[in-house]
Structure 1
Amino acid sequence: MADLEGARSKLVQNFRDNSNAAAYRSDRHDLVAKEHSHAWDAPARKHASSAEIKAQRILTTIRERERVDPNLFGNLPGEALPAEGSLDMGGRFLVNLPRINKSDVFKIVRQMPKGAHQHLHFNSEIDPEYLFPLARELVPDTMFIRSTHPLVTESDFELAEIVFQVLPRQTKSADIFSAQYSPDWRDESNTSWMLWQDFRRSFLSHIEGVKLEKYIESLDPAEMWAREKMIITKQNAYHSRQTHNGAWACFNQGTRALKGLLGYETAYRWYIGHMIDNMIKDKVMYAEVRPMLMDKTLPTDDGNGALDHKAQMAILVEEVQRKTAELEAAGRLHQFPFGVKVIYCTPRSIPLEKMKTELEDCLALKLQFPNLICGFDLVGAEDRPNSIGYYADLLTALTKTCKQLDIQIPFMFHAGETLLDTGGSSNPDNSNLYDALLLNAKRIGHGYALLKHPLLVEKYKEHNICLELCPISNELLHLCGNVREHPYPQLLAAGLHCTLNADNPSLFRGAEGSGASLSYEFYQVLVGDPRMSIHGCKQLAEWSLEHSCLSGEEVAKAKAIYAQEWEAFCQWVVKTYGEVADARDEDSGSMELS
């Protein structure tokens, strides 16, 4: 055995000799540099302009300053206990939202060009507080409400689900506030609809004990109560008994209620133009929206007429053209030059015969509107039946038919938006991620569970399948606790092409989020992982254009417009916040943060 004193002497001597340590530090520096050169955003960093490099340093400086700012997040490093009132930057979205809205990082992100919006459910871009006044003005005598409970006790108001629908004026109106009210709409002898105008008039005399989260000046108490049925609030998102299935129930309730509130002719027309205005405000230049098209008609304002799919798509084309002409006349066409395309959506829960009809309707719309219909998707919670594979025979038949007709309806499946990843069964082999690959999906929605499949990760890269990430949606549906727990850094590090998307923003934001759907998503990924940079944001936006359904010529034009907008944005950051970086340079000896 070696002499103990001799061993200690050698250790002390080696402490003094730093040659090994110097080699270690050199090797470590080389290792980190090599990883940076192989990172997913390396091409964007390599081609960054001087303005972009300085904008990155500015953004990093502001982000770290806001992390410790006691008026924002107050997260001081090394504290044994967090200060009173501090919050985690990148913590729960709805809890942080008031502070996010005061953040300079968020103000910068709002100005950031974001490319294309690939994953946006059609009826979820405009917040409900804008739809209630519209209903008051346009359909006071034909907008009706139905409830799953008579509204008698305080718990009735809490538990009831509601839906809206425009019906003929002569429809008999029920009294939802009566204990005798029956919600059974399938009973032909029963009346379950109450005129919304009558409901609003009666509401105040029945709401003792009913708690509303807050008031919005433009809405009356009945509208405020209904609004809370349509949005994900802090209470229903984060309360101690909430579950993944419970969060989905809130989401489904909100989408059902929203559908009728905008589901009539004039609101539908109004909505399209305002949706585009919202996107322009959010620095989005193109969108592929997902309407649920299993409902085959949309009522006219008087409730007596019905617009079929062809009429609805014709209105969409007409309103997009109207907005395009308006932008061109104002010299602003570069802000939204390619309009909107439609991904046909239907639920994954329907029987095979119904799915056959849906595919036939999708094909018919594609032939009638070849430049509008750009894809097909199955929607709904993946932890419930059915898997994509259940419909494989029908879906492969659609693919073969499209090939014979020389048209394209690529699949854009929701896949991997799940913790179980078993395709609505108990068998992991039923994962929808297998079917999305085998059915040659162009993109998949979410892809949250993809890292469970190392082979599929490589296959998705090989087949150039893009992931439509929706981090805030994933948090609020309880796939993760907050954005810092989201796998987006690992998905990107694995070499997968990804984009950022808002999914159902009107359900998730409320009034504070109007016109900022994608801005919140970009903010969240920027503060959720310190590795995310302004260069990474540019790469995500460029991928959103490359993986869109625009033609090759249109993609080239879009990327040229985007490059100009991006450089102007970086110069704006430098001009507006340049003194921040200059001050940091003086304090840190010109530390390079990019």
Structure 2
Amino acid sequence: MSRVSFEQFQVQRAEFINQEENRALGSDVVLNEDEQKVNSHIMKLKKAELDVGFKTPRDFTPARHFFQALDKIKASPLFQLIQKMPKGAILHAHDTAIGSMETIVKATHKDHLWQNGDFDRPDPPKFQFSKSKPNPLNGSEWRSVAAIRREIGNEGYNNNIRNLFSLYHADPVNAYQCINQIWGTFSNIFISLEPIVTYKPVWEEYFYQSLEELYADNVSYLEFRGVLPPVYDLENHTYGPEEIVQIYYDLSEKFKKTHPDFIGVKFIYAPHRLGDDDAFKGYMDIAESLHKKFPAFVAGFDLVGQEDLGRPHVDFNERLLKMSPAIQFFFHAGETNWNYGTDENLIDAILLGTKRIGHGFAAIKHPRVLEEIKKRNICIELNPISNQVLKLVDDFRNHPGSYYFSDNYPVVISSDDPAFWCASPLSHDFYIAFLGLASARQDLRLLKKLALNSIEYSAMSKAEKVEAKHKWNIAWNNFIDQTIKSIAE
């Protein structure tokens, strides 16, 4: 068999590349003339970072740990442009880790806050809002935070709070030796934070400020998970699940009134997967009651917590199948690098009819799962920075999202718990995805597709999606116009 000529080879090669590009996420997006101008600009910025990284791989941002690249990302013209871009929705985030910890720092200046334990001890200190001094805890006396502030100074105290409620470390690779260790620290942050953030005035302030930060990051819609811990006040009143969701709803409506171009908010009830059978029955009852009272605001049900150490889906499947079919599922599944059982949660999630899959990191190991994801049009909620910080992947170029991008899988980019790793609500994850997960050829069409996907795969009704796309298109066109003007200057 004779070889083809070089000219024929060149034609075949060009066609091969063209076929690959036509399979990629965003290939169906058609850019108008103005968008093409912006695309040329954004691809110059992307190529500049790729070129630097290719010459000196250790300097390529997605090849480094996110904590070690924060300053470099902040200075990146590509990141700064992505910050300005309307990114649509966050579809995967957790209630008390969305907004920055500065709201919590501010909350520790409030009256009636008490602390038990010191910052320099192995066990983190505990906190409580109370009109009077709480009873000793295991023989240890409580002290007012105001008094501790006077001793160590406001800035010293504020920095201790910032460090306590963050996974950030200057040497993250050595600081966290394995996934179980960092998940333990991660879980302890939620536990330590809870008595501060669940004080009703702080609960309200934190959620509303989170919306402000989303809006400033050019995110216009939020679907967030919450475990609904008891919220309390100084009058010894404890607020239950329905009262807490009512607070969320009222604050969301208030925010929409003052930000008319903001699309809205929906809530996904997501209790912990470590609960025993009696607790799980209670979760199901809460899910049913919330759905009845807030059918348009409560989007559905999920289970949260480390999959590797949590109860597998097979423990819950029979009972989940008995839940009202009106309650949609948005299951975390495949947030693991094991091929050892935990990853089979993906199979259960799909067969249970999940509308989206949280993370789906392990889906690439399951061809049938991938087939069903496409067949059933199940969206994968990618959270690249979370996956690196929580030790599923070291180098973003090796993230399975690269494959999902290359073959047009239904995916969105989200941020999970951005406050705990000092990230913006969504821009950092978009930047990492565009530079580290996407191919060198994927361009503005991918970014636009990801934003549109976040609306299309949301739990909004058809009518809500029409309005959402209208608002997003206005913001997008304004972004294109402003970018063209800045390029010309």
Q: Same fold (TM over 0.5)?
A: yes
Q: State whether structure 2 residue 115 is matched by structure 1 residue 145.
A: yes
Listed one character per residue, the Cα deviations across residues 466-511 of structure 1 (whole Å, up to 9, x for unaligned) are: 11110000000010003222111102224320111110011011xx
Q: Is this contact kept in 2: 1:165–1:261, CA < 8 A?
A: yes
Listed one character per residue, the Cα deviations across residues 334-386 of structure 1 (whole Å, up to 9, x for unaligned) are: 2x13x211100111111111100111011111112222111111001111130
Listed one character per residue, the Cα deviations across residues 102-161 of structure 1 (whole Å, up to 9, x for unaligned) are: 111011101111111100101112222322222313xx22x23344xxx5xxxx825222
Q: State whether structure 2 residue 487 is matched by structure 1 residue 562.
A: no
Using the TM superposition, give the Cα deviation of residue 564 of structure 1 relative to its aligned residue in structure 2, in angstroms: 2.7
Query: Which amino acid in 2 is paired with 1:57?
Result: S
Q: 1:531 to 1:240 in 2, by over 3 A?
A: farther
Q: 1:423 to 1:223 in 2, by over 3 A?
A: farther
Q: State whether structure 2 residue 243 is matched by structure 1 residue 243.
A: no
Q: Distance in 2 between matches of 1:460 and 1:257?
A: 37
More divergent stretch after superposition (339-348 vs 256-265): 256-265
Q: State whether structure 2 residue 103 is matched by structure 1 residue 171.
A: no
Using the TM superposition, give the Cα deviation of residue 303 of structure 1 relative to its aligned residue in structure 2, in angstroms: 5.2
Q: Could you say which residue in structure 2 is the equivalent of 1:105?
A: 78
Q: 1:517 to 1:395 in 2, by over 3 A?
A: same
The equivalences for 1:186-585 within 5 A come to 190=139, 193-202=142-151, 219-235=154-170, 237-239=172-174, 242-293=177-228, 295=229, 297-300=230-233, 302=234, 304-327=236-259, 333-334=260-261, 336-337=262-263, 339-398=264-323, 402-403=324-325, 408-424=326-342, 431-509=344-422, 513=423, 516-528=424-436, 529=438, 530-578=440-488
Q: Distance in 2 between matches of 1:487 and 1:162?
A: 38
Query: Which amino acid in 1 is paired with 2:464?
Result: E
Unaligned runs of 5+ in 2: none
Query: Which amino acid in 2 is paired with 1:24?
Result: F
Query: Which amino acid in 1 is paired with 2:272?
Result: P
Q: Is this contact kept in 2: 1:382–1:423, CA < 8 A?
A: no
Q: Distance in 2 between matches of 1:194 and 1:75?
A: 51
Using the TM superposition, give the Cα deviation of residue 94 of structure 1 relative to its aligned residue in structure 2, in angstroms: 1.3
> What is the TM-score normalised by the length of structure 1?
0.77
Q: Distance in 2 between matches of 1:244 and 1:499?
A: 24
Query: Which amino acid in 1 is paired with 2:281?
Result: K
Q: 1:19 to 1:242 in 2, by over 3 A?
A: closer
Unaligned runs of 5+ in 1: 1-13, 69-73, 175-182, 185-189, 205-218, 328-332, 580-594
The 3-state SS of whatever aligns with 2:60 is coil
Using the TM superposition, give the Cα deviation of residue 67 of structure 1 relative to its aligned residue in structure 2, in angstroms: 4.7
Higher relative contact order (CA 8 A, sep 6+): 2
The 3-state SS of whatever aligns with 2:115 is strand
Q: Could you say which residue in structure 1 is the equivalent of 2:59?
A: 87
Listed one character per residue, the Cα deviations across residues 213-272 of structure 1 (whole Å, up to 9, x for unaligned) are: xxxxxx532332232121011346322662111111221122222222221111122223
Using the TM superposition, give the Cα deviation of residue 452 of structure 1 relative to its aligned residue in structure 2, in angstroms: 0.4
Listed one character per residue, the Cα deviations across residues 271-299 of structure 1 (whole Å, up to 9, x for unaligned) are: 23212111111111111111112x3x211
Q: Could you say which residue in structure 2 is the equivalent of 1:61?
A: 44
Q: Distance in 2 between matches of 1:561 and 1:234?
A: 39
Q: 1:233 to 1:272 in 2, by over 3 A?
A: closer
Q: Is this contact kept in 2: 1:457–1:494, CA < 8 A?
A: no
Query: Which amino acid in 1 is paired with 2:385?
Result: I
Listed one character per residue, the Cα deviations across residues 386-413 of structure 1 (whole Å, up to 9, x for unaligned) are: 0012111211111xxx24xxxx221111
Q: 1:351 to 1:247 in 2, by over 3 A?
A: same
C-alpha RMSD over aligned residues: 2.3
Q: Is this contact kept in 1: 2:86–2:219, CA < 8 A?
A: yes
Using the TM superposition, give the Cα deviation of residue 451 of structure 1 relative to its aligned residue in structure 2, in angstroms: 0.5
Q: 1:391 to 1:168 in 2, by over 3 A?
A: farther
Q: Is this contact kept in 1: 2:103–2:205, CA < 8 A?
A: no
Q: Distance in 1 between matches of 2:53 and 2:429?
A: 21
* Rg larger for: 1
Q: 1:64 to 1:239 in 2, by over 3 A?
A: same
Q: Distance in 1 between matches of 2:282 and 2:171?
A: 36
The 3-state SS of whatever aligns with 2:299 is strand
Q: Distance in 1 between matches of 2:271 and 2:130?
A: 24
